[in-house]
Structure 1
Amino acid sequence: MTEIERIKKNIDGELPKGKYGIIIVQDMPNPKHELEIFKQTILAILENISLHEENSKWEKLLPKQLVEFTNQLEEEDYHKDDLISHIPNMIRHFREQRKWEWFSSTMLENDEGFEVIVIGNLDTIALPLLHHQGIPFTSIFLEENDKLYPTRYITDVLTYKTFDTKTLKLKKK
């Protein structure tokens, strides 16, 4: 089964043989929606992997929530927040530095969040994609070799701005 097929079909937290890691996202208003946006983002990149990162088509291919969040950022935000970048940089980093493949996903108990199980070395390429959806660092964790790691970065744009998931707008706090 290809990675694209696993994203679409493996939705019950299936575990692969061998080394794997888990991306855990919790404490958000609508985790099912956020998981769907994350899937759409990964699928858009995988299905258009040969499209140049500077091509304006990315803004139509990627989920609206991710694009609108990114496009409303101010230049100062790119210097303060450790995980955000312009869309072309996000695409470039995904292609060049990713060391994992999506294996499955599942909702956490009581729909309090979701998990994505990945094959290979868990790295941080997924974190910027999740953060560009308006998910704060404090809601993203990585689990590898039975150890849980919080996402720790110096400044999160969502600590000095709020993201309204209904209007898709950032507001200063």
Structure 2
Amino acid sequence: MTEIERIKNNTNGELPKGEYSFLIVQDIPNPKHELEIFKQTMLAFLENKELDEEDPKWEKLLPKQLVAFTNQLEEEDYHKDDLISHIPNMIRRLREIREWEWYSSTMLENDEGFEVIYTGKLNVTAQPLLHHQGIPHASIFVEKNGELYATKALTDVLTYKKFDPVTMKLTKK
């Protein structure tokens, strides 16, 4: 089964052989929707990985929620929140740090969040992508070898701005 097929079909927490980690997102509204947006982002990258990172087509290929969040950021936000970047930089990081492979995903108990099971270093690129969906730093974790790690970043843009995924508007609090 290819990685693209696993993103689409492995949705019951299937585990790979060997070492693996969990990317955990919890305590968010509408986690099923957020997992679907994350999957769409990863599929867009994998299906178009040869496309130049500066190509404006990325704004049409990536989920609208991620693009809308990113395009509303102001220059000051990039200096405060070290998990955010411009779309070309996100694509470049996905390409340069391609030491990961998506294996499976599943919803957490009580649908309070979701987890992605992966091998390698997906967390390095995934945490910023999830944040660009409007998910706060405090909701993104990595579990590796039984240890739970919180996102390490300075200020979260979502502490002074609010993102509404329905209207796709980012406003000051």
TM-based fold match above 0.5: yes
Residue number in structure 1 paired with 2:119 = 119
Q: Which amino acid aligns with 1:138?
A: A
Q: Which moved more, 1:76-85 or 1:116-125?
A: 116-125
- Residue pairs, 1:67-106, within 5 angstroms: 67-106=67-106
- In the alignment, the residues of structure 1 paired with residue 122 and residue 34 of structure 2 have an alpha-carbon distance, to the nearest angstrom, of 20
- In the alignment, the residues of structure 2 paired with residue 163 and residue 122 of structure 1 have an alpha-carbon distance, to the nearest angstrom, of 24
Q: CA deviation at 1:124?
A: 1.4
Q: CA deviation at 1:121?
A: 3.8
Q: Which amino acid aligns with 1:157?
A: V
Residue number in structure 2 paired with 1:138 = 138
Residue number in structure 1 paired with 2:50 = 50
- 1:90-126 CA distances to partner (integer Å, 9 max, x unpaired)? 0001100132110000000110000000012454111
Is 2:23–2:123's contact at 8 Å kept on the other side of the alignment?
no
Residue number in structure 2 paired with 1:12 = 12
Is 1:13–1:117's contact at 8 Å kept on the other side of the alignment?
yes
Q: CA deviation at 1:171?
A: 1.1
Q: Which moved more, 1:33-42 or 1:158-167?
A: 158-167
Q: Which amino acid aligns with 2:115?
A: E
Residue number in structure 1 paired with 2:33 = 33
**2:168 is aligned with 1:168:** yes
Q: Which amino acid aligns with 1:51?
A: L
Return the TM-score normalized by structure 2: 0.98
Unpaired stretches in structure 2, ≥5 consecutive residues: none
Deviation beyond 3 Å, 4+ runs, structure 1: none
- In the alignment, the residues of structure 1 paired with residue 157 and residue 98 of structure 2 have an alpha-carbon distance, to the nearest angstrom, of 24
Is 2:44–2:62's contact at 8 Å kept on the other side of the alignment?
yes
Is 1:98–1:123's contact at 8 Å kept on the other side of the alignment?
no
Q: Secondary structure at the match of 2:124?
A: coil
Q: CA deviation at 1:84?
A: 0.5
Residue number in structure 2 paired with 1:156 = 156
